[in-house]
Amino acid sequence: MGLVVQKYGGSSVATAERIKRVAERIVATRKDGHDVVVVVSAMGDTTDELMDLAQQVAPVPPARELDMLLTSGERISNALVAMAIHSLGAQAQSFTGSQAGVITTSTHGKARIIDVTPGRIRAALDAGHIALVAGFQGVSQDTKDITTLGRGGSDTTAVALAAALDADVCEIYTDVDGVFTADPRIVPDAAKLDRITYEEMLEMAASGAKVLMLRCVEYARRYGVPVHVRSSYSDLEGTIVQGSMEDLPVEQALITGVAHERGEAKVTVVAVPDHPGVAARIFRTIADAEIDIDMVVQNVSRAAEGRTDITFTLPKSDGPRAVEALENRRGDIGFDQIVYNDHVGKVSLIGAGMRSHPGVTATFCEALAEAGVNIDIISTSEIRISVLVRDLELDRAVTALHAAFELGGGEEAVVYGGTGR
């Protein structure tokens, strides 16, 4: 048999009882004859509680110490899962990210994985043991300090280990049944996808789908690791993320799903001179403030004036800072005004088949028009159409698109709660 990597999130191991349930599933997988490596997040709200403790003793905790503190959470959960496995009669050993050979950059709080050298994991597997690896952490190549990987870190750890160990699959256990054609809390008849390509999943994640983080999907794509997103509450098959859209048969279903994002705001830099370098100055200003940008839209200039508007979206929480940064450079950039709008929502249609089927954009716009949703800005990629709409119209837009492209499964999707992260 082969090697399986499994990842369990915080809610899956929130209590002693849940830990024992997870241990049963792991042991069952081992009994099927597989080598098993398991990545476990910290129990429940542990990470938040530790962050809270940190802020009680220091308003601005130093990053190195924050990583030393937060990584305790995964250490605790992994040791407990190993113990539970042991009491079921199987052999297990827990390892920190450092012990597992997860080598990272030195940026505390959001380190990137440079390499994975899982020698001790391989040795444990060869000795017949189940290996538990603390997610969300590694060791810095330069300083030998413990680092944490930032959001989605545990999923990324799991995929990185799967790649390094040449696993057959990386199973991500979560509190939803898989990847859906839309958020079931908005569209009750959203269907669970059986399969989705890496590129489509990347677009879904980038467009607001919370079930897998972008970096984890990109890592999987780069190393060709099949990722199986499934529920930790049942034995149902979930969604397999695998394959490139280049390999899809021409007759492949047109559209995969609808994603939405509520957390963005829109900034329009009005009437900038239409010269080379102006856009660069705007985006360098934003980058220097360490703000990430999502959609960027610039239309043709109003020729008579030689000016144009540049619009971009960004996380709402960064909005005020971005506006302030731009206002401070008004002279350099030369705009008339900044328009800021945080009552927007983004909805995206994703599907590999979009490339070969004309008319998708037309159907898209007709569906929104029929639902009375006004399109603010449009931005597209080869397999995605995204629009910004009024936030109060977002749910209606999602529902309209889902119906227009006939994505519904016919049955109501079961929603357990959670964001599918």
Q: Please name the residue that has the structure tokens 């052999």.
A: 91
Shortest distance, position 90 Cβ to a copy of itself, whole Å = 11
Instruction: Give the tokens for residue 226.
Output: 């099949």
Residue 144 annotated as binding site: no
Q: Which residue number, 148 or 207, has a Cβ lying nearer to a copy of itself? A: 148
The counts of H helices and E strands in the chain are 12, 20
Q: Which is nearer to a copy of itself, 19 or 389 (CB)?
A: 19
Nearer to a copy of itself, 78 or 242 (CB): 78
Q: How many residues bind a copy of itself (CB under 8 A)?
A: 36
Spell out, one character per residue from 9 to 38, where the chain touches a copy of itself: x when CB under 8 A holds, - when not. -------x--xx--x---------------
Which parts of 36-95 interact with a copy of itself (CB under 8 A)?
A: 50, 53-54, 56-62, 64-66, 68-69, 71-73, 75-76, 78-84, 86-87, 92-94
CA distance 90 to 28: 10
Q: At what angle do helices 278-288 and 319-327 cross, to 10 degrees?
A: 130
Q: What is the amino acid identity at position 195? A: R
Q: Is 391 annotated as a binding residue?
A: no
Q: What is residue 412's three-state secondary structure? A: coil
Smaller CB separation from a copy of itself, 77 or 348 = 77
Shortest gap between Cβ of 171 and a copy of itself (angstroms)? 21
* 270 lies in the binding site for a copy of itself (CB under 8 A): no
Spatial distance between the Cα atoms of 208 and 183, rounded to a whole number of angstroms: 10
Cβ-based nearer residue to a copy of itself, 28 or 79: 79
The nearer residue to a copy of itself, 134 or 291, going by C-beta atoms, is 134
What is d(CA 193, CA 262) in angstroms, rounded to the nearest whole number? 23
List C-alpha distances in Å: 382 to 5, 298, 361, 379, 405. Answer: 32, 18, 12, 11, 18
Nearest-angstrom CA–CA distance, 403 and 26: 39
Q: Round to whole Å and give the CA distance between 167 and 188.
A: 35
7 annotated as a binding-site residue: yes
Phi, then psi, of 251 in degrees rounded to 5: -80, 5
Q: Tell me the binding residues for substrate.
A: 47, 74
Q: Tell me the binding residues.
A: 7-10, 47, 74, 174-175, 185, 210-211
List interacting residues with a copy of itself (CB under 8 A): 16, 19-20, 23, 50, 53-54, 56-62, 64-66, 68-69, 71-73, 75-76, 78-84, 86-87, 92-94
